[in-house]
Amino acid sequence: MVEAFIPKSLSECLELLNTHDLKIVAGGTDMLIQNRTHSSLPIGYKGDVLYISQIEELKNIYEDNQFVYIGAGATLETIMENLSVSKLLRETILEMASPAIRHTATLAGNIANASPAGDSLVSLYLLDAEVELKSLTNTRRMFVKDFIYGVRKINLEKNEMITKIIIPKLKFSHAYFKKVGPRLSDAISKLSFSGAYLVELGRIIDFRVAFGAVNIYVVRSPGLELKIIGKTVSQLKNQVEEILNWYEPLIKPINDQRSNKNYRKEVSLNLLREFIESLN
């Protein structure tokens, strides 16, 4: 028989993780789909589960000079409404799921689910976001890009959990997220794109782009971004074809039920072109 644990404090939760083999359930919106039985209404969990939604201390969102800290129990809707959170991330969340799902689902759940189509990941990679991982005896921090090492593969020990998502405070002239799907929210992305830049006196000080659902991981290339930083906006615009050629080999989508690889590649490169042309 499957047992369910519902701790009320983080220390109780970490103690349970240390002594039992448990699968974490936050909002349960991915867990529900992954464990549905089709034959009965109750969810068919295959092992014991740890519900973390009752832990108030995991729901805090706060900031210091450098970072915004988002508790792993904060729902997408709460994050979206918090003005200290990066505008890019809030706009990304607005494109995710329906309000009903966003009132339950968490950002930590979207990260730990490690799907190449996870919408928040594109903006989190772009923002150099980190996760705080805690066990009973240890706390460590890791970039989201290093935390996820493959499709549904994450660097998490059995006795650990994500406790916070840490977002650097960055200054951009403009940043946006675009999702291409059958319907905008409440549908899995065919592909997604985030772009951000900072331009001062016509020169590019910061330039970042990230692509989702076009490889087994989010595609971002700090090396290519460095080649762009320092140029003037007009130099960049004159070089747009060359820059699309730099990115083209990194975009390796697959065919699946949602879309085909040629469409995904072409639209991703069009989104990059549109982003470069939007710089001013």
Ligand X SMILES: Cc1cc2nc3c(=O)[nH]c(=O)nc-3n(C[C@H](O)[C@H](O)[C@H](O)COP(=O)(O)OP(=O)(O)OC[C@H]3O[C@@H](n4cnc5c(N)ncnc54)[C@H](O)[C@@H]3O)c2cc1C
162 close to 108: Cβ distance less than 8 angstroms: yes
Nearest alpha-carbon partner for 172 in 270, 279, 80: 279
Total residues at interface with ligand X (CB under 6 A): 28
- Which of 18-26, 85-93, 166-174, 199-207 is the region at the interface with ligand X (rule: CB under 6 A)? 18-26
CA distance 78 to 74: 6
A 10 A CB-CB count for 141 gives 11
**Scanning residues 185 to 244, which ones bind ligand X (CB under 6 A)?**
185-186
Stretch that binds ligand X, among 19-27, 35-43, 164-172, 230-238 (CB under 6 A): 19-27
Alpha helices in the chain (DSSP H): 10-19, 29-34, 76-81, 87-94, 99-102, 107-113, 119-126, 144-147, 222-228, 233-238, 240-247, 261-278
117 or 228, CB closer to ligand X? 117
Report in angstroms how near the CB of residue 181 gets to ligand X at its nearest. Answer: 7
Neighbours of 158 (CB within 10 A): 10
| Selected binder of ligand X within 30, 77, 130, 132 (CB under 6 A) | 30
CB atoms within 10 A of CB 239: 16
Least Å from the CB of residue 242 to ligand X = 32
Nearer CB in complex with ligand X: 26/271: 26
Residue nearest to ligand X (CB): 109
Closest distance to ligand X from the beta carbon of 230 (Å): 34
CB 96 to ligand X: min, Å: 4
Name residues whose C-beta falls within 8 Å of residue 206's C-beta, 6 or more positions apart in sequence: 170, 171, 172, 196, 197, 198, 229
Distance CA 73, CA 68 (A): 15
Which of 93, 276 has the CB closer to ligand X? 93
Chain residues 64-123 in contact with ligand X, contact rule CB under 6 A = 72, 96-97, 101, 105-106, 108-110, 112-113, 118-119
Nearer to ligand X, 113 or 159 (CB): 113
User: Which positions lie near ligand X, rule CB under 6 A?
Assistant: 23-31, 33, 72, 96-97, 101, 105-106, 108-110, 112-113, 118-119, 156, 161-162, 185-186
